[in-house]
Structure 1
Amino acid sequence: MCGLSAFVSSRPDPGPLDATFREAFAAALATLHHRGPDDTQIEFGDGFAFGFKRLAIIDREHSVQPLHYADRWTVVFNGEIYNYRELRAELIRVHNAVFATEGDSEVLAAAFHYWGEAALPRLRGMFAFVAYDHRTGTLHAARDAFGIKPLYMLETADGLFLGSERKALDPFAAPAGAALETEALAHYLTFQFVPDPMSLHRHIRRLPPGHRIIWTPGGGVRMHRWFRPSLRPLRVEPEDAYQRIREALTASVHAHMHAEVPVGTFLSSGVDSSAIAALAVREKPDLHAFTAGFAAQGYSEIEIAQDTANQLGIRLTPTVVSDEDVLTHLPRIIQLLDDPIADPSLIPLFFLAQTASRFVTVVLSGEGSDELFGGYTIYREPLSLDRVDRLPPGMKRGLKHLAEVLPEGVRGRSFLERGTTPIEQRYYGNARIFDPEEKARVMRFTSQPHTAITAHLYAETADVDHVASMQYVDLHTWLPGDILVKADRMSMAHSLELRVPFLDQQVYAAAAGLPTDLKLPPGVTTTKHALREAMKGIVPESVRSAKKLGFPTPTRLWLRGQIGDWVDHLLSTSQAGDLIDLEYVRGLLAEHRAGGADRSRKVWTVAMFCLWHAIAVERSIIVDDPLPTRVPVQRQEPGLSHVFG
């Protein structure tokens, strides 16, 4: 896991880059120090610059980047290629490839040299890389299939900039306030994150997952999609499906355990992290696991995680997060994200990663399982609404009218509303913060509807059932826009590499063809049925049959205490009032604090934008350098780690 930065000039015969640019480029790269504190390298040439911050995991003494290959390529690469040894052997056997290192970076460079774009589907792992062809003056860049590793782009009159985080590009772009993208803000208010390829900066974009670009001087950027996930339910024998999942996940965990540094795992109360931990401890009997929780009653999974760890024979270190921790570190957390994410679960993840980084350099985590195997309870909605959905159109119109005239709170109204609303309008992601009507009330500008993000995804899944369509929407929005961003940023904040065994080629292949009745069978209250069945005899039965929780956060309680005081002050002093009706949102907060309806998600979403605005636009909140030198990994005694500001 590392941080990369690159620039290629669009000017003809650009010559050496001047000292001012070199200084600015080096300063921008320094903002990525948390991603790779083990080594820093910068290379300048005629019209190009490459910078790299390395977190050394494989071939630690060598594999320095920027890397050069075949007297033709300069490559910077962030991620891990888990099948690099097999690819290396094939490249030597078939192409007589020559290698100077023992790591995966040079294998990636060689694979791209010999196979070009065809190398991308053969890379088993997570990656974002930039490869510059000195022979043709062409730049190539690509991002892994699911968007595990980030890559940002900025094209200016001077040329093309790329970086692992937006902050490495900001110095070369217009000020954030002048270039604030209101369309991105509008979608943020719906989804609680900014969806790809947008950012809140109008000129800085993210390369979407499963995409690559080719850039040439004078030709600009051409983008191509090299991977498109498909969830096409097939007829499969249940036991065959379970065995395939079990074998694929076992092989994936085995591959993800390879490192020359200490490896641990995150552990919650769910089947995802428990499955990874159970398989990982087979590879590493002294496996160290980490979990987090809050002091508030009902908002901690530590006891369940401890019970699981005891049953698996795993050492567990828990972390308790206090309100003071949240108030102290929240500005730092938002600053690390580049664009705000209103998912409060990123807060315990920040502290969880902080604790883990004191013991290990790599952790395994369960991201991606819910999207692939049908883990969210909302995926059951099409099954419960099936009776209404099958009615003739005329009858559905009548029921829709009935729902509209029924008073609020009348039993059955919500069911009729949802059942008579097309899936394309009803489901637009896991969060769904402000509905279109209230969003129009909150925003002080107009924008495209949320369907601008999801319409083409539903069009691409018109021939599958609604559950598969919902999973497909989440694979393209929620997973890369929220889940994987927070996983990357909160772990990298502490120079900790986070690996996701569920987002693996073989695991994806085992999940892609599962029929809905193996994911969410009738009469079963839990989700991810096929995964749970596959883990029978591997995961403790107390976890295998339990409902999904995932590190729960007490946002409702926070807003009724001292954090609520802080949020009210933030809203009352924010200069973002020209974009959002902040007095309306303060009214929602007051209603929530008075014990009325739960408005916590809406208030928190606006508050996180206002915090971002104060940091990035107003500069009224200054986050001191949040990137301390990595604490050397130590073999500490296990115990309770309580994080204080």
Structure 2
Amino acid sequence: MCGFVGIVSANNETLYYQPLREMMNVIAHRGPDDSGIFEGQYARLGFRRLSIVDIEGGHQPMSYLDDRYTIIFNGEIYNAPELREQLIKMGASFQTHSDTEVILAAFHHYGEECLHRFKGMFAFLIWDREEERLFGARDPFGIKPLFYRTLRDGTYVFSSEKKSLFFVEEQAYIDGEAAFHYLTFQYIPEPNTATAQIDKVKPGHSVHWRPESGFSTRCYWKPEFVPKTSFGNKAVHFFTAPFKQKQLQLEKELFLTDIRETLVDSVKRHMRSDVPVGAFLSGGIDSSAIVSIARQFHPNLNTFTAEFEREGYSEGDVAEETARAIDVNHKRVKISVDDVMNEFSKIVWHMDEPVADPAAIPLYFVAREASKHVTVVLSGEGADEIFGGYNIYREPHSLRFFNGLPPFLKPVLRKAAERWLPVGMRGRSFLMRGCSPIEDRFVGNAKIFEDHEKERYLVPGSPTWKTSDITHSLYEETKNYDAVSKMQYIDLHTWLRGDILVKADKMTMAHSLELRVPFLDRDVFDVAAKMPLRGKVKGKQTKVWLRESLADIVPGHVLQRKKLGFPVPIRHWLKDEMYDWAKEWILHSHTDHIFDKKACLELLEDHRVGKLDGSRKIWTILTYMVWHHHYMENHHDSGQEYIHHIG
């Protein structure tokens, strides 16, 4: 549980002018008890850490080989013990038992190839005093964040959280194109952020800086789906059918074994800790699988779930039933609408960026409760993206009828449906989607505003901005994929890293709680990436082979249950209890240069009287306004004083 800030510059005056301690203090929640600073000719590094019983000697910044290397590191390397033994055989010596020192030794002995040996979640920066260079990296899936800001004289400032980067003297500006894409996705796709001068290091990328050559990033790993084989995708001749059916069954059995074994190994590694470990438990298969496996290694496991005080918006009873079946200690966290209004401002502040996924709300409150009992918590993020779990992945099957239509007929039918069938009419959306290429109809798991709708609400704009700007290159990389694998690939490179993992990290770190995600393990992904389509989606069933591989350890009532996610009753709240609250935010927000306030208020009113369900659109606008209030209007407040101020 930690966070860091790093500054590199060829200009010594600029390097030491930056307020490093203030930058560290504003992320004190990531590490409220311990801190450290390294200062050199070209680099300054600051670190915050949660103090625990430290038998490993993990104080940072940590130096290695007579201070040649100095590191700041956020995350966990789960295979550090094995790497340590390998490095000792190569002649490495260690002064501590920490995974931080293992990273330093691995970098010294393997160079940049060390990144392919780490199993874990990480963001780190290493200053090499001898070669006068900075090397860093972000983990393959983007579990841990890494922001950077470019200053005018070539100085670069890095941080675990974007809020630190507002303390430099240069003014930050809104990125209008980022706001355009935000209204589509409900988050801003990486590597961009809401402000023009601040970016994210992409997942699976390394960072390089030298005083004479400047800054660059390189891709060291990218997730790709490469199905081994699928006899089921080929015509089966009458005489060879029995043989091929046996081959199909053998293929399936091998995959079921690999899924089970790699996931068990991953959970076991993720449970390595000298502090209490718990798990989030909802009513779905992903968290239930993690808890069922974790229970084998930790019989007294504590689990946690969130629920709302509104009928139809709670998985609490199912989670309770699952907890009893698995035999774990379970706690339920109830959330009221007043809780949400009281804490929403703080939630947005912790998020760093405008991320309008309502599921952040239950995550924030369940993390707050879990932090009272454990220091590390396991969760099921990533399973849907790599094993094919989202209900939208069933769409190519449901639209299969349209595959037989002549290509020239589809655009004609689509235009006719759009022009002549009223919005909301049964069948209109089905017809329009069926006649649209997947590249046009799927941009990821969330699509809030259509491009043409943004003209009404968004003030800055350009006719050259299009949502396809984000997805076009990704679709180019997946020309040979089946439709479901294309959708997974889009989600892995947008939704997972821009929404799912952002809220997971920020909502847990808000309470100094470390979240670990065993599904996002390279070995687990390598198995899932080779699965044929029939192992992911089959008819109305998703995550087909994942379910089958876990059939004897996950409670039966969970296995065939339809995916619900984290339903949040914002549709009801914005009509009733939250209406005045939302209206006040819109009226008093200093975002007239970004949003058409009149249009926003009309949308809220139309939702209140039932003319339409505008809840997700309203929530997206509100979240941006609250973010703007904190970071563009009041960004000089800091640390615990700031949290108190917005609370």
Scaled by the length of structure 2, what TM-score is found?
A: 0.93
The verdict on how the C-alpha distance between 1:318 and 1:242 changes in structure 2, with shifts beyond 3 A counting, is same
Partner of 2:233: none
Partner of 1:27: 22
Q: 1:116-164, CA deviations, whole angstroms, 9 ceiling, x for partnerless residues?
A: 1211111000000001111121111100000000001112216211110
Q: Distance in 2 between matches of 1:626 and 1:438?
A: 39
Amino acid in the other structure paired with 2:65: A
Partner of 1:583: 598
Q: Distance in 1 between matches of 2:159 and 2:543?
A: 36
Partner of 2:560: 545
Q: Distance in 1 between matches of 2:189 and 2:104?
A: 30
Q: Distance in 2 between matches of 1:374 and 1:625?
A: 41
Partner of 1:264: 278
1:459 aligns with 2:473: no
Q: Distance in 2 between matches of 1:562 and 1:222?
A: 49
Alignment counterpart, residue 128 of structure 2, candidates 107, 119, 133: 133
1:397: Cα distance to partner? Answer: 3.1
Q: Distance in 2 between matches of 1:320 and 1:104?
A: 37
Matches within 5 A, 1:328-339: 328-339=342-353
Q: Distance in 1 between matches of 2:269 and 2:52?
A: 14
Q: Distance in 2 between matches of 1:220 and 1:389?
A: 51
Alignment counterpart, residue 510 of structure 2, candidates 484, 493, 498: 493
1:597: Cα distance to partner? Answer: 1.5
Q: 1:387-414, CA deviations, whole angstroms, 9 ceiling, x for partnerless residues?
A: 2134221222332233233321443322
Contact 1:15/1:47 (<8 A) preserved = no
Partner of 2:78: 82
Partner of 2:235: none
The verdict on how the C-alpha distance between 1:81 and 1:627 changes in structure 2, with shifts beyond 3 A counting, is farther
1:38: Cα distance to partner? Answer: 3.3
1:582: Cα distance to partner? Answer: 2.0
Partner of 1:245: 259
1:153 aligns with 2:134: no
Alignment counterpart, residue 47 of structure 2, candidates 47, 52, 61: 52
Q: 1:539-582, CA deviations, whole angstroms, 9 ceiling, x for partnerless residues?
A: 00000110111222111011012222111111122221221112
Matches within 5 A, 1:396-435: 396-408=410-422, 409-435=424-450
1:202: Cα distance to partner? Answer: 0.8
The verdict on how the C-alpha distance between 1:438 and 1:173 changes in structure 2, with shifts beyond 3 A counting, is farther
1:175: Cα distance to partner? Answer: 3.1
The verdict on how the C-alpha distance between 1:502 and 1:49 changes in structure 2, with shifts beyond 3 A counting, is same
Q: 1:156-213, CA deviations, whole angstroms, 9 ceiling, x for partnerless residues?
A: 216211110011111115334xx11111111111100011111111111100101112
Alignment counterpart, residue 450 of structure 1, candidates 462, 467, 480: 467
The verdict on how the C-alpha distance between 1:626 and 1:533 changes in structure 2, with shifts beyond 3 A counting, is farther
1:164 aligns with 2:166: no
Partner of 2:383: 369
Partner of 1:533: 548
Contact 2:207/2:215 (<8 A) preserved = yes
Alignment counterpart, residue 562 of structure 1, candidates 577, 600, 613: 577
Partner of 1:636: none
Amino acid in the other structure paired with 1:583: K
Specify the SS of the correspondent of 1:474: helix
Of stretches 140-149 and 38-47 in structure 1, the one that deviates more from structure 2 is 38-47
Specify the SS of the correspondent of 1:444: coil
Contact 2:77/2:120 (<8 A) preserved = yes
Of stretches 534-543 and 436-445 in structure 1, the one that deviates more from structure 2 is 436-445
Contact 2:147/2:162 (<8 A) preserved = yes
The verdict on how the C-alpha distance between 1:233 and 1:56 changes in structure 2, with shifts beyond 3 A counting, is farther
1:613: Cα distance to partner? Answer: 1.4
Matches within 5 A, 1:220-369: 220-235=214-229, 237-369=251-383
The verdict on how the C-alpha distance between 1:595 and 1:343 changes in structure 2, with shifts beyond 3 A counting, is same
The verdict on how the C-alpha distance between 1:172 and 1:502 changes in structure 2, with shifts beyond 3 A counting, is same
Matches within 5 A, 1:84-123: 84-93=80-89, 95-123=90-118
Q: Distance in 2 between matches of 1:365 and 1:56?
A: 23
Partner of 2:392: 378
Contact 2:8/2:15 (<8 A) preserved = no
1:224: Cα distance to partner? Answer: 0.7
Q: Distance in 2 between matches of 1:155 and 1:518?
A: 45
Q: Distance in 1 between matches of 2:635 and 2:200?
A: 27
Amino acid in the other structure paired with 1:464: Y
The verdict on how the C-alpha distance between 1:512 and 1:56 changes in structure 2, with shifts beyond 3 A counting, is farther
Q: Distance in 2 between matches of 1:142 and 1:10?
A: 21
Alignment counterpart, residue 505 of structure 1, candidates 519, 522, 526: 522
Q: Distance in 1 between matches of 2:638 and 2:65?
A: 43
Contact 1:17/1:44 (<8 A) preserved = no
1:498: Cα distance to partner? Answer: 0.1
The verdict on how the C-alpha distance between 1:58 and 1:75 changes in structure 2, with shifts beyond 3 A counting, is farther
1:476 aligns with 2:525: no
Q: Distance in 2 between matches of 1:139 and 1:390?
A: 55
Partner of 1:41: 36
1:5 aligns with 2:22: no
Partner of 1:635: none
The runs of 5 or more residues in structure 2 that have no matched partner are 231-250
Q: 1:9-41, CA deviations, whole angstroms, 9 ceiling, x for partnerless residues?
A: 222xx38965x54xx210110111111123111
Specify the SS of the correspondent of 1:76: strand
Q: Distance in 1 between matches of 2:59 and 2:308?
A: 41
Q: 1:277-324, CA deviations, whole angstroms, 9 ceiling, x for partnerless residues?
A: 000010000000011010011111111100000011111011001111
Contact 1:75/1:129 (<8 A) preserved = yes
The verdict on how the C-alpha distance between 1:373 and 1:202 changes in structure 2, with shifts beyond 3 A counting, is same
Q: 1:99-123, CA deviations, whole angstroms, 9 ceiling, x for partnerless residues?
A: 0000100001111111112111110
Of stretches 306-315 and 408-417 in structure 1, the one that deviates more from structure 2 is 408-417
Contact 1:16/1:45 (<8 A) preserved = no
Q: Distance in 1 between matches of 2:101 and 2:642?
A: 29
The runs of 5 or more residues in structure 1 that have no matched partner are 630-644
Q: Percent identity?
A: 45
Alignment counterpart, residue 202 of structure 2, candidates 175, 198, 208: 208
Q: Distance in 1 between matches of 2:83 and 2:154?
A: 37
Amino acid in the other structure paired with 1:197: P
Scaled by the length of structure 1, what TM-score is found?
A: 0.93
Specify the SS of the correspondent of 2:640: coil
Contact 2:14/2:155 (<8 A) preserved = no
The verdict on how the C-alpha distance between 1:57 and 1:211 changes in structure 2, with shifts beyond 3 A counting, is farther
Q: Distance in 2 between matches of 1:416 and 1:367?
A: 33
Q: Distance in 1 between matches of 2:64 and 2:73?
A: 13
The verdict on how the C-alpha distance between 1:38 and 1:620 changes in structure 2, with shifts beyond 3 A counting, is closer
Q: CA RMSD in A?
A: 1.9
Specify the SS of the correspondent of 1:169: helix
Q: Distance in 2 between matches of 1:101 and 1:310?
A: 41
